[in-house]
Structure 1
Amino acid sequence: MDSISYERAADANGAVRAAQQPGSMYIGGGTNLLDLMKGGVTRPVRLIDITHISGLDSVATLPDGGLRIGALVRNSDAANHALVRERYPLLSQAFLAGASAQLRNMATVGGNLMQRTRCSYFYDTAFAQCNKRQPGSGCAALEGINRTHAILGASPQCIAVNPSDMNVALAALDAVVRVRGPSGERAVPIGEFHRLPGDRPDLDTTLQLGELITAIDLPPPLFSDHAHYLKVRDRASYAFALVSVAAALQMNGNTVTNARIALGGVAHKPWRANAAEQMLTGHPLDDATLRAAAAAAVSDARAQRDNAFKIELAQRAIVRAVNQAAGRSGGVV
């Protein structure tokens, strides 16, 4: 049995100081970290409990009209907060698509950002080959069962995907992650927070040693009228996405004046479909344009043996999610 020390942080600065000891990890809701510890995947030597730090469990309006969600806000509370539901329905829908009600009642927003991949080879230490667990050991998923793995942004070192629903919505909304570390505070755009695997798949984020997530900032709401989160999965609840789509639009009649599309279940990080957004923006929303945009979103996709279906599935999901966001009852599926 591993020896683990425990410390309850009284404030953010104290937590950051405590986390400078090698092997230290923060714990909030613990819904992912404890699983990893039980399976022997993660072996911290020190747990720093941040759940009693004042000010990290609130939701507040920002001066520019945006919203700040504290890192310790529970997923269920964020999903059902009046301001989130009214101004950022895309995010509320994404929260409610994740896990189960019981887990959402425990999981925190900051912890959701830090979710590690649910690749079965990463979670099962009986498989020695996992570059995410042991850099340089290989990737068992490349020759194994890879139905749920990445079709975009993967590398020969890792083909795992980011499992979070919340992260996909945040990517579409251009959220900013606020962190505090030994050198003070900094703001990290959500697109720069998570990493692609490259040759260091063991690093999921760009956080530095001891940095603590304190909040997520959302920009002023632009997409409260036309947004939809679609999650395609093997069963209706408590399952990770095969493909998910966060679609948010600004419309003038039938013309798209601004489009945001992000994909989940397809890459090591939430995947922003910039080419699809550009093809939709400034044009009337019709079936041909939407099909072309969906195809552009996966033009660089590379399938593994078992997941080629995801390329077609992602296109169909984009079409459906955008149609839903626009309030179109018809259109191709």
Structure 2
Amino acid sequence: MKSINLVALAVFGTTALTGCGVEQGEVQDDASSLEAPAQEFTSPFEDASKDSVPSVALDGRAAAAAEGVRGMAASPGLMGLASSWYSGSVAAGATQHWYWNNSSLTSAYSVGLSPTGASTTSGCRFEVTRTWDVQQYGGEREFHFSIKNIGSIACGTNILLASRERTSTWATGGIDVGASKSWTWNNANPLTATHIVGLSPSGSTSANPCQLEVTRTWYAQQPGGEREFKFTVKNIGAIACQGDVQLAVVTSANSSWSTGSLSPGASGSWVWNNANPLDRVYAPGLSPAGALGTTPCQLEVTKSSYQQVIDSDGTTERKYYFTVQNVGSLTCSGTLLLNYL
């Protein structure tokens, strides 16, 4: 099966997103400033349900080069992507573990997917289940991620690796094995921007790399109106170590709309149809509203996935699914920001 035709994508990327839309209820079956964060705190919301990943890691840079994407693999920033390559066929329910070696020490990375291989009766659907950063002995940074076929048929996906240079950075300080630290980025402006977090770990030894993972990100609105971006970092390796946060801001807007009112613990799900161009990597964010008294409004994008379907007229279509949850204690709403890298 062939990967995305990169030349064609360069042309299609200029096409307007005519016909794209949002439908509520289509739920999945189931020079950077060296600023310190305004506040460090302990998170009560850490997700311990992450999928395990295969022990054998696949080399993304080698896969891209083998497909002839050498220019992109060697020149990050071409077409807005660091690189792109094909996963090969993945069984329904199976997971792949990929890494991108010699990663930039000052960038945040994000992974998009363009599935391929849908049948007329079953879509091809993938999600990114985890992302984390590794420092090998000697100083090399690797960006790792896992993808999972969450559909019902064996198929594959074009993997879209995007990066964004940091706008702010600071040190995590030491983090013990298995421990987590969380931060709040105050005044997360403009209100239309989304945020992605990368990590440049340090402290690896000849016996063990330093491995740090961003386990969750979410947004809060304080009663005075201030928006905050919050995130949690966990040491998932075998040695205590530290790292530098690479915080990037994304302002390229695809669309935005209201989440509607969500009670504490409740979720809302949407699908973005005709998710074109096919090399677009989405970076959804939230601007919560409705903080009251001393209680903030807190919203989180908890899940997202990409699907290829074959429509009734025989054409293929990519869809982007995502779920927003109210992770606070107050009924409130917000604006969902469908931004992209």
Fold-level similarity (TM above 0.5)? no
Q: Give TM-score scaled by structure 1 length.
A: 0.29
Q: Give TM-score scaled by structure 2 length.
A: 0.28
Which structure has more relative contact order (CA 8 Å, sep 6+)? It is 2
